[in-house]
Amino acid sequence: MATTREVGPPGWARLCRSDEIGEAQSRGFDPDHEGQDSLFIVRWQGDLHGWRNACPHIDGAPMAWRRDAYLNAEGTRIVCHAHGAEFMPDTGLCVQGPCRGERLSRIALAVVDGELFVKS
């Protein structure tokens, strides 16, 4: 018999348990098995936000300097380590750096029974 964890909402792929990502933490995922993380999740002021791992400064540029490292040391901004652009964790707006005023691309998320899903 299939469980919620195995199935989830139709058209959504399971990433992890939602409580595995703590406050001011980030984590990358490769749900399509492309060989690198295509998206990342951050928890900011209690809420989870999903973003495409592609900097608007140079489209498609991956942002982390090492696995799961998408935030600054304080956990207050998403940082692209290529050229130092800083983004708000909740809106994806670039507030500092070469693409100031541009935004990250949001990924739709769903939490069902404590499991985190992404639109597939």
Could you say whether residue 79 binds ligand FES (CB under 6 A)? no
Could you say whether residue 55 binds ligand FES (CB under 6 A)? yes
Could you say whether residue 93 binds ligand FES (CB under 6 A)? no
Per CB under 6 A, the list member of 13, 48, 82, 88 interacting with ligand FES is: 82
Could you say whether residue 85 binds ligand FES (CB under 6 A)? yes
- As beta bridge partners, residue 43 has 48
Residues near ligand FES (CB under 6 A) are: 55, 57-58, 61, 80, 82-83, 85, 97-98
